[in-house]
């Protein structure tokens, strides 16, 4: 009765010293949306790399049956030819090439010995229609938004007539609206008979879209839940993921109201030189001591630009007006160094790109933001450095063998904690957290939230930028909604609702 | 219980531990192994001449200017930049020193002026790269042309400028004075080496104690003894060999001092951290409050000074400045760094290893010269060794990453 298109049986994969997968079983029905969930390091990506031939046959134990046949993929080309396509979290495209060139890169349509450009454009137009994109196939990839690029990637897999498409965290860099778009597109593809495997941390999406949910934990299959016959909720999935009941995703916080205004921005405007337009328009906000203030908004609303400009880092921008006050004192910040000295910390949106020096160890990354606190004459006091790093390692429970471990080898959640520790070491009064839980697992998220609560309890204030509305609603005391470079609304905790935030973020009707 | 664990840990034995350690630190040991192999190979290929005291002294003095420039280049490469101008810069600055002395400027002042000039031109390049954002490849290529032009301009009238100053010529050709003898050998040389060896032992023990205090993973005691013993044996043999001839040369002492200072700065000071930070992740460093632009300017200013110093050493070695001096030095310096394990993508590198890399390169030249291999073949051999070394390095890195 069950029509499985794909079966992975007793898959075991061993890395030096680590058993990444241990007798994993994974079965996918034809034409379903199958979600694969699990904490970071549970083995999801490894399993998909085996399926797509990145780890070739012979490199693992167990067997893959696809369409009833035993398959021995030795590279990604073979799996693609068989009809299995993978779209990685980090999209792989050539930015300076057009959409159609990217789609047909590597399997060009030929006319004799030459590339048939016109036919490629015609076919691309059809493919784009299939993914509901209405754009010119000759547009450059670099001009598209991330959400659109993602859709182009899907079109690319369709061009290779993929029957099974694997999507690794497809919505992690999309905003809510783009995510919704993508999910409904996936539903349509399913109707067309495509089988979809999706890895995701966003359980809400998983619950809404999945036919089957397979949970992996520590390299083992925990369970496969059939969501078509029985209702599965997020809490149930979390329970299987972490192996414990987690009643509350957001830790409780003892409210400590304080009316003292710590930080105040007024009339903050910036002009982007390259695009010749105003990116930040008369932004004003206040942050009280011990408060967590959220900034919601869609991708491209200017949230990160705002945060970076407050932090004294404005490459390519020109501040046209505005004033910052911290503890009643007017500040002039020309560089991140000024900001750090004044007591403002910024934890970046993407720890790998501009947060951490991956090839260096934990202590290097923590101490680098405040070396002057560790000096003994002209020399860095290495003992003090190790003690300091160890202290943060303990306080933030960074899991590693020692502070000498290279940051590259840490999991996403632990990397994020190092990123946090680095700024905490500067003793900030105001901490700006840009997407603090992106790409980290549920358990680590909870730890980050608890840390945030601890920090504000100690009198620090936090500005939290996030694309996950539930996270903002769960954590913030107050929030501002940003749209196209301006604040379109301010909401008190009692007024929080996803609906209202989305309305303001999309700027359907202005209300201030 | 405890003893059982200890037994288990020791079971692999010293050889297994050595193998393990080698595998994990290929990057740090590769050039030592390469140097060792080259030495042994040439020893037999040249009928023992290669390792004679006379030739070793020669080899060490030949390495001087390359090693000095490799030290400066290490920092430039760590911060993901490159400096192609150093060869002709060295030639030009060497000529400047010679001309200044010919004009009657005292030798000390001449050297100071030239070094300062090096810092300034280096800083200008750093400013163009760091502030204007012109890529280092382009900027330093432009300066290669400029220095080349300047060199032929200053040597146009005179051709080769001969240096008569004894002090200046001694920098690359002279030796520590023979104040006293021990067993009929150069006394001062033996004393300097003894001090060096004592320093190594003390530093190793101190480091080990510190590591123990924080309970960091240690290599086992016997292996450490073997490691240090090997190093001491090597130094002991070198000191004996050199002291039986003319003793320690000034140039090697200069290289040792410069290397020590740079190593200290990179490892122990804030500036060193900034350099590794900017090299490892420029944006992260900027957001951590580091002034990236100043770090870049510093790297090029220091490189400028090192190319001036290299030029002085080279001019001193030839006892004259020539219109073609310095051609291709930049390539030797860059190759030394890469052979010494500086990462091709920046962020990783040690000056000591770059100096060893410089020794590998000059050993090749020297050995092949002794064997009577023609210059054309020498370049081909060098190229093959260079690409092998870097390929090996990249591969070992790749394996680690997976």
B222-272 residue pLDDT tens:
777 777 888 788 888 888 888 888 888 888 889 999 999 999 999 999 999
Q: How far is A115 from A95, CA to CA, in rounded Å? A: 20
What is residue A174's predicted lDDT score, i.e. its pLDDT? 76
Residue A43 pLDDT grade (very low, low, confident, very high; cuts 50, 70, 90): confident
pLDDT over 70 (residue A40): no
- State whether residue B19 sits within 8 Å of chain A by CB: no
Rg (CA), chain A: 24
pLDDT over 50 (residue A186): yes
Summary mean pLDDT of chain A: 86
- State whether residue A59 sits within 8 Å of chain B by CB: no
Cβ-proximal residues to B254 (8 Å cutoff; 6+ apart), any chain? B64, B68, B171, B313
Chain B's closest residue to A424, CA to CA, is B288
Q: How far is A79 from B308, CA to CA, in rounded Å? A: 58
Residue A219 pLDDT grade (very low, low, confident, very high; cuts 50, 70, 90): confident
Share of chain A above pLDDT 90, in %: 31
Q: Read off the pLDDT of each residue in A381-388 and give the average, rounded to a whole number.
A: 89
What is residue B1's predicted lDDT score, i.e. its pLDDT? 36
What is residue B6's predicted lDDT score, i.e. its pLDDT? 40
- State whether residue A273 sits within 8 Å of chain B by CB: no
A234 and A105 belong to one structural domain: yes
Give the end of a domain, one of A215, A242, A269.
A242
Task: Answer whether residue A413 is part of any domain.
Answer: no
Give the end of a domain, one of A242, A271, A301.
A242
What is residue B10's predicted lDDT score, i.e. its pLDDT? 44
A87 and A145 belong to one structural domain: yes
- State whether residue B218 sits within 8 Å of chain A by CB: no
What is residue B219's predicted lDDT score, i.e. its pLDDT? 67
Domain holding A484, by residue range, is 261-343+428-505
Which residues of chain B lie closer than 8 angstroms to A18, CB-CB? none
Q: Which two tokens stand for residue B246?
A: 């003319």
Chain B: closest CA distance from residue A308 (Å): 9
Task: Answer whether residue A367 is part of any domain.
Answer: no
pLDDT over 50 (residue A246): no
Q: Report the side by side order of strands in the sheet with A195-199.
A: A84-87, A164-168, A195-199, A33-37, A212-217, A220-226
A192 and A288 belong to one structural domain: no
Q: How far is B280 from B348, CA to CA, in rounded Å? A: 7
Task: Answer whether residue A256 is part of any domain.
Answer: no
What is residue B115's predicted lDDT score, i.e. its pLDDT? 96
What is residue A333's predicted lDDT score, i.e. its pLDDT? 87
What DSSP state is assigned to residue A353?
Answer: I
Confirm if B163 and B103 have CB atoms less than 8 A apart.
no
pLDDT over 80 (residue A47): yes
A272 and A184 belong to one structural domain: no
pLDDT over 90 (residue A382): no
The 10s digit of each residue's pLDDT in A345-356 is: 999 888 888 889
Task: Answer whether residue A382 is part of any domain.
Answer: no
The 10s digit of each residue's pLDDT in B317-334 is: 999 999 888 888 999 999
A233 and A287 belong to one structural domain: no
Size of interface A-B (CB pairs under 8 A): 82
What is residue A419's predicted lDDT score, i.e. its pLDDT? 92
Cβ-proximal residues to B274 (8 Å cutoff; 6+ apart), any chain? B285, B290, B291, B295
Chain A: closest CA distance from residue B1 (Å): 22
Q: How far is B111 from B29, CA to CA, in rounded Å? A: 36
The 10s digit of each residue's pLDDT in A290-326 is: 899 999 887 678 888 899 888 887 777 788 888 899 9
Task: Answer whether residue A397 is part of any domain.
Answer: no
Residue A2 pLDDT grade (very low, low, confident, very high; cuts 50, 70, 90): low
A108 and A192 belong to one structural domain: yes
Q: Which of A84, A112, A81, A115 is nearest to A97 (CA)?
A: A115
Which residues of chain A lie closer than 8 angstroms to B286, CB-CB? 313, 336, 354
Q: How far is A402 from A418, CA to CA, in rounded Å? A: 13
Nearest CB neighbour to B287, from listed A348, A360, A386: A348
Task: Answer whether residue A415 is part of any domain.
Answer: no
C-alpha triplet A416, A421, A425: angle, nearest 5°: 155
- Asked if B210 and A383 come within 8 Å (Cβ–Cβ), the reply is yes
A230 and A323 belong to one structural domain: no
What is residue B34's predicted lDDT score, i.e. its pLDDT? 78
Cβ-proximal residues to B260 (8 Å cutoff; 6+ apart), any chain? none
Q: Which two tokens stand for residue A141?
A: 């990839």
Q: What is the ipTM of this complex?
A: 0.81
Share of chain A above pLDDT 70, in %: 94
Task: Answer whether residue A348 is part of any domain.
Answer: no
A279 and A231 belong to one structural domain: no
What is residue B119's predicted lDDT score, i.e. its pLDDT? 97
Whole-angstrom CA distances from A1 to A30, A63, A67, A193, A194 are: 12, 22, 15, 18, 19
How many domains are there within chain A?
A: 2
Q: How far apart are the first and last CA of chain B?
A: 35
A199 and A77 belong to one structural domain: yes
- State whether residue A379 sits within 8 Å of chain B by CB: yes
CATH of the domain at A313: 3.40.50.300
What is residue B148's predicted lDDT score, i.e. its pLDDT? 94
- Asked if B276 and A382 come within 8 Å (Cβ–Cβ), the reply is no
Q: Which ranges of chain B have pLDDT less than 50?
A: 1-11, 399-402
A158 and A15 belong to one structural domain: yes
Residue A8 pLDDT grade (very low, low, confident, very high; cuts 50, 70, 90): very high
- Asked if A402 and B348 come within 8 Å (Cβ–Cβ), the reply is no
A128 and A181 belong to one structural domain: yes
Cβ-proximal residues to B76 (8 Å cutoff; 6+ apart), any chain? B82, B83, B136, B299, B300, B303
Q: How far is B113 from A304, CA to CA, in rounded Å? A: 49
- Asked if A368 and B287 come within 8 Å (Cβ–Cβ), the reply is no
A274 and A140 belong to one structural domain: no
Task: Answer whether residue A143 is part of any domain.
Answer: yes
Q: Read off the pLDDT of each residue in A140-169 and give the average, rounded to a whole number.
A: 88
């Amino acid at each position: 009765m069950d029509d499985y298109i794909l079966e992975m049986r007793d898959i075991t994969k061993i890395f030096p010293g680590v058993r990444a997968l241990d007798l994993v079983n994974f079965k996918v029905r034809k034409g379903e949306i199958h979600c694969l969930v699990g904490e970071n390091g549970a083995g999801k990506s490894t399993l998909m790399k085996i399926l797509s031939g990145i780890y070739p046959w012979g490199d693992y134990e167990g067997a893959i049956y696809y369409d009833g046949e035993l398959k021995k993929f030795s590279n990604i080309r073979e799996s693609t030819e068989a009809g299995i396509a993978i779209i990685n979290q980090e999209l792989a495209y050539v930015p300076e090439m057009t959409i159609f060139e990217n789609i047909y890169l590597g399997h060009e349509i030929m006319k004799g010995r030459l590339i048939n450009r016109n036919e490629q454009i015609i076919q691309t137009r059809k493919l784009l229609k299939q993914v509901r994109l209405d754009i010119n196939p000759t547009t450059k990839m670099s001009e598209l938004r991330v959400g659109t690029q993602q859709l182009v990637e899907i079109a690319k897999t369709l061009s290779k007539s993929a029957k099974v498409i694997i999507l690794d965290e497809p919505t992690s860099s999309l905003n809510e609206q783009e995510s919704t778009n993508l999910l409904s597109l996936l539903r349509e593809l399913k109707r067309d008979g495509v089988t979809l495997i999706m890895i995701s941390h966003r359980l809400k999406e998983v619950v809404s879209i999945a036919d089957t949910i397979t949970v992996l934990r520590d390299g083992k299959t925990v369970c496969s839940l059939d969501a078509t016959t029985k209702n599965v909720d997020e809490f149930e999935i979390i329970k299987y993921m972490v192996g414990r009941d987690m009643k509350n995703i957001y830790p409780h916080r003892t409210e400590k109201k304080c009316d003292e205004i710590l930080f105040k921005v007024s009339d903050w405007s910036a002009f982007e030189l390259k695009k010749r337009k105003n990116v930040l328009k008369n932004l004003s906000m206040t942050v009280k001591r011990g408060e967590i203030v959220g900034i919601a908004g869609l991708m491209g609303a200017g949230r990160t630009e705002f945060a970076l400009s407050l932090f004294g880092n404005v490459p390519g921008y020109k501040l046209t007006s505005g004033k910052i006050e911290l503890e009643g004192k007017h500040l002039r910040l020309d560089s991140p160094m000024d900001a750090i000295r004044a007591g403002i910390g910024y934890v970046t949106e993407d720890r790998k790109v501009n947060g951490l020096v991956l090839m260096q160890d934990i202590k290097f990354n923590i101490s680098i933001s405040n070396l002057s606190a560790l000096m003994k004459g002209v020399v860095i006091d290495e003992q003090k450095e190790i003690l300091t790093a160890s202290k943060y390692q303990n306080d933030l429970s960074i899991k590693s063998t020692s502070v000498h471990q290279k940051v590259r080898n840490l999991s996403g959640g632990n990397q994020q904690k190092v990123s946090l520790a680095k700024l905490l070491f500067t003793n900030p009064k105001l901490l700006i957290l840009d997407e603090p839980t992106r790409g980290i697992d549920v358990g680590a998220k909870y730890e980050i939230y608890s840390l945030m609560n601890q920090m504000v309890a100690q009198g620090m204030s936090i500005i939290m930028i996030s694309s996950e509305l539930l996270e903002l609603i769960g954590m913030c005391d107050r929030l501002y909604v940003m749209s196209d470079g301006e604040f379109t609304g301010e909401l008190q905790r009692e007024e929080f609702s996803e609906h209202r935030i989305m309305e303001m973020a999309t700027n359907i009707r202005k209300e201030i | 219980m405890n003893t059982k664990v200890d037994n288990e840990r020791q079971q692999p034995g010293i050889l297994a531990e050595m193998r393990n350690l080698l595998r994990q630190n290929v990057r740090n040991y590769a050039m030592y192994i390469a140097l060792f192999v080259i030495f042994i190979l040439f020893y037999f290929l040249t009928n023992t001449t290669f390792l004679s005291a006379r030739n070793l002294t020669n080899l060490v003095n030949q390495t001087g200017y390359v090693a000095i420039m490799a030290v400066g280049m290490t920092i430039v490469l760590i911060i993901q930049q490159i400096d192609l101008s150093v060869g002709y810069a060295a030639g030009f600055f060497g000529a400047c020193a010679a001309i200044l002395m010919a004009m009657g400027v005292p030798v000390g002042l001449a050297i100071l002026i030239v070094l300062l000039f090096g810092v300034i031109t280096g800083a200008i390049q750093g400013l163009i790269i760091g502030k204007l954002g012109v890529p280092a490849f382009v900027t330093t290529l432009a300066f290669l042309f400029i220095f080349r032009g300047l060199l032929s301009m200053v040597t146009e009238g005179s051709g080769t400028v001969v240096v008569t100053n004894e002090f200046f010529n001694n920098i690359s050709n002279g030796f520590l004075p023979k104040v006293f003898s021990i067993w009929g050998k150069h006394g001062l040389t033996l004393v300097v080496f003894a001090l060096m060896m004592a320093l190594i032992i003390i530093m190793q023990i101190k480091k080990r104690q510190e590591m123990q205090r924080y309970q960091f993973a240690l290599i086992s005691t016997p292996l450490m003894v073997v490691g240090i013993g090997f190093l001491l044996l090597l130094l002991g043999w070198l000191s004996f060999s050199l002291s039986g001839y003319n003793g320690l040369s000034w140039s090697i002492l200069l290289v040792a001092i410069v290397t020590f200072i740079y190593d200290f700065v990179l490892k122990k000071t804030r500036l060193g951290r900034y350099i590794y930070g900017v090299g490892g992740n420029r944006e992260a460093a900027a957001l951590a409050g580091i002034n990236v632009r100043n770090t870049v300017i510093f790297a090029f200013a220091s490189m400028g000074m090192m190319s001036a110093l290299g030029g002085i050493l080279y001019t001193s070695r030839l006892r004259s400045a020539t219109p073609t001096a310095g051609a291709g030095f930049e390539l030797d310096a860059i190759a030394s760094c890469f052979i010494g394990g500086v990462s091709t993508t920046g962020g990783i590198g040690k000056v000591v290893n770059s100096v060893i890399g410089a020794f590998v390169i000059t050993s090749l030249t020297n050995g092949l010269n002794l064997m009577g291999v023609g210059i054309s073949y020498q370049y081909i051999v060098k190229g093959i060794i260079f690409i092998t070394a870097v390929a090996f390095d990249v591969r070992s890195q790749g394996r680690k990453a997976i």
